[in-house]
Structure 1
Amino acid sequence: MDLSKLAIFKMAKDRLDWSAQREKVLSQNIANADTPNYKAKDLKELDFKNLALSQSKRVNMVRTNAAHMSGGLPDSGPYQEKVERYPYESSPDGNEVILEEQMSKLGETKSQYTMSVQLLKKHLNMIKIATRSGR
């Protein structure tokens, strides 16, 4: 069985790849915290909503019982996403790396990575249980 063809595994792999790449970029920021005129970098946020939507279009949900809930996506509601810009200070030598901010982002990235690994483990375990019960 090729697990990379299953949507949940592809999405988790994309999240793991993004987390690893972001950790590398944030580590470079921390390593250059004393480099004059160094500008902190970050990756564009992984749009998990669009990733999930693109994967969910491949799956057709079917109601096999009238008591089952109908499938579909919920309405987004009255809330809209808003992009906020946080101007941070820079040092006298032009360096814009704030170590506390970078460490916070690293912790956040580690949490996202751990969550993706746990999700993969749970789904693998679920597949193992499903294949054992068929014997």
Structure 2
Amino acid sequence: MKLFSDTFSVLENSLNYSTAKNRAISNNIANVDTPNYKAKDVSFSNVLAGELQANRTDSRHIPFDEDNRKGYKTFERTGTTYNHNGNNVDIDKEMTELANNQIHYQALVDRMSGKFRSLESVIKGGSA
């Protein structure tokens, strides 16, 4: 018997993803002037796994390791260079992503708080 609905685990995974995304963005901003630094990004692993599976020509190519059970994957953005020193951090893009991620995180926290308030109300017998 499950004590809580799947909503809690979905919210937990989403909060973990948002935290990892925030960490990657913060590292990118901190390394905006670091020579040859390549920006990091975070992606949901199931989306990435689907892409990897679609592009695999042999089962021995590009194994999707067990470390990706957490629901997201951090990867390095390659193929671009915005600065003369080999760095590919676009500070405007990072600041926009940071603001979007903060809004997303706050919405998740509000939703989680609402779920806990609902449980509290049920435990107290409906009278608050």
Q: State if a TM-score over 0.5 links the two structures.
A: yes
How far apart, in 1, do the equivalents of 2:45 and 2:104 lie?
11
Contiguous gaps of at least 5 residues in structure 1: 48-86
Q: Normalising by structure 1, what TM-score?
A: 0.61
Aligned to 2:116: 124
State which of 88, 91, 98 in structure 2 corresponds to 1:96: 88
Distance verdict in 2 for CA 1:32–1:12, change over 3 Å: same
Residue deviations 1:16-50, cap 9 Å, x none? 11111111111111111111121111001477xxx
More helix per residue? 2
Unaligned stretches of 5+ in structure 2?
47-78
Q: Deviations over 1:56-90 (max 9, x none)?
A: xxxxxxxxxxxxxxxxxxxxxxxxxxxxxxx8661
Partner residue in 2 for 1:109: 101
Larger RCO (CA within 8 A; separation ≥ 6): 1
What amino acid sits opposite 1:26 in the alignment?
Answer: I
* Superposed CA RMSD: 2.6
Q: Distance in 1 between matches of 2:82 and 2:126?
A: 62
Does the residue aligned with 1:133 lie in a helix, a strand or coil? coil
Measure, in 1, the Cα distance between the counterparts of 2:12 and 2:20. 12
* Percent sequence identity over aligned pairs: 28
Contact 1:18/1:46 (8 A) holds in 2? no
Number of equivalenced pairs: 95
